[in-house]
A and B are shown apart, each in its own frame.
Chain A
Amino acid sequence: MSRTSLVTQMLTNDRGGRVFLAVLATVMVAVPVLNLLVPESSALHVSTYTVTLLGKYLCYALLAVALDLVWGYCGILSLGHAAFFALGGYAMGMYLMRRIGDRGVYGNPDLPDFMVFLNWHELPWYWHGFDSFLFAMIMVVLVPGLLAFVFGWLAFRSRVTGVYLSIITQALTFALMLAFFRNEMGFGGNNGLTDFKDILGFDLQSDATRVTLFAITGALLALGYVLSRYIVSSKLGRVVIAIRDAEDRARFIGYRVELYKLWVFVFSAVLAGIAGALYVPQVGIINPGEFSPLNSIELVVWVAVGGRGTLYGAVIGAVLVNYAKTFFTGALPEVWLFALGGLFVVVTVLLPRGIIGLAGQIKTHRQAKASKQSEALT
Chain B
Amino acid sequence: MKPLHRLRGMMNRRRALDVPPVTAERLDVSHGPILYIEGVSVSFDGFKALNKLTLYIDDGELRCIIGPNGAGKTTMMDVITGKTRPDKGTVFFGQTLDLTQMSETEIAAAGIGRKFQKPTVFPQHSVFENLELAMQADKRVWSTLFAELSGEQRDRIEEVMTIVGLQELSKGRAALLSHGQKQWLEIGMLLMQNPRLLLVDEPVAGMTHQEMDRTAELLVSLAGKHSVVVVEHDMEFVRSIARKVTVLHEGAVLAEGSMDDVQNNPRVIDVYLGA
Task: Identify the A interface with B (CB < 8 A).
Answer: 1, 6, 153, 157, 231, 234-236, 238-239, 241-242, 245-246, 248-257, 259-260, 263
Of the residues B114, B122, B140, B148, contact of A241 by C-beta under 8 Å = B122
A253 touches B147 (CB 8 A): no
CB distance from B29 to the nearest CB of A (A): 21
A-B contact count (CB 8 A): 82
CB neighbours (8 Å) of B100 from chain A are none
B144 touches A234 (CB 8 A): yes
CB neighbours (8 Å) of B83 from chain A are 248
Flag B116-128 by CB within 8 Å of A: 1 or 0 each. Answer: 1000111111000
B17 — nearest CB in chain A belongs to which residue?
Answer: A259
B130 — nearest CB in chain A belongs to which residue?
Answer: A242
CB neighbours (8 Å) of B140 from chain A are 256, 259
B144 touches A239 (CB 8 A): yes
Decide yes or no whether B132 CB sits under 8 A from chain A.
yes
CB distance from B184 to the nearest CB of A (A): 15
CB distance from B112 to the nearest CB of A (A): 9
A96 to B201, CA, bound (A): 62
A5 — nearest CB in chain B belongs to which residue?
Answer: B148
A234 to B142, CA, bound (A): 11
A287 to B122, CA, bound (A): 43
A236 to B133, CA, bound (A): 9
CB neighbours (8 Å) of A246 from chain B are 120-123
CB distance from A87 to the nearest CB of B (A): 23
A241 to B126, CA, bound (A): 12
Known: A238-B132, A246-B121, A252-B108. 19 other contacts (CB 8 A): A1-B149, A157-B10, A235-B133, A235-B145, A236-B145, A238-B125, A238-B133, A239-B133, A241-B124, A242-B125, A248-B116, A248-B120, A249-B121, A251-B105, A252-B104, A253-B108, A253-B133, A253-B193, A256-B140
Of the residues A1, A239, A248, A263, contact of B148 by C-beta under 8 Å = A1
CB neighbours (8 Å) of A263 from chain B are 141
CB neighbours (8 Å) of A157 from chain B are 10
B116 touches A249 (CB 8 A): yes
A55 to B133, CA, bound (A): 40
CB distance from B117 to the nearest CB of A (A): 12
6 closest residue pairs by CB, A with B: A254-B108, A236-B145, A235-B147, A242-B122, A236-B144, A249-B120
Interface centre among A248, A250, A254 (most CB of B within 10 A): A254
Of the residues B16, B104, B148, B189, contact of A251 by C-beta under 8 Å = B104
Given contacts A157-B10, A238-B132, contact A254 B121 (CB under 8 A): no
Contact sample, A vs B, 15 pairs, CB 8 Å cutoff: A235-B133, A236-B141, A241-B124, A246-B123, A248-B116, A250-B122, A251-B105, A252-B108, A252-B114, A253-B108, A254-B105, A254-B193, A256-B139, A259-B140, A259-B141
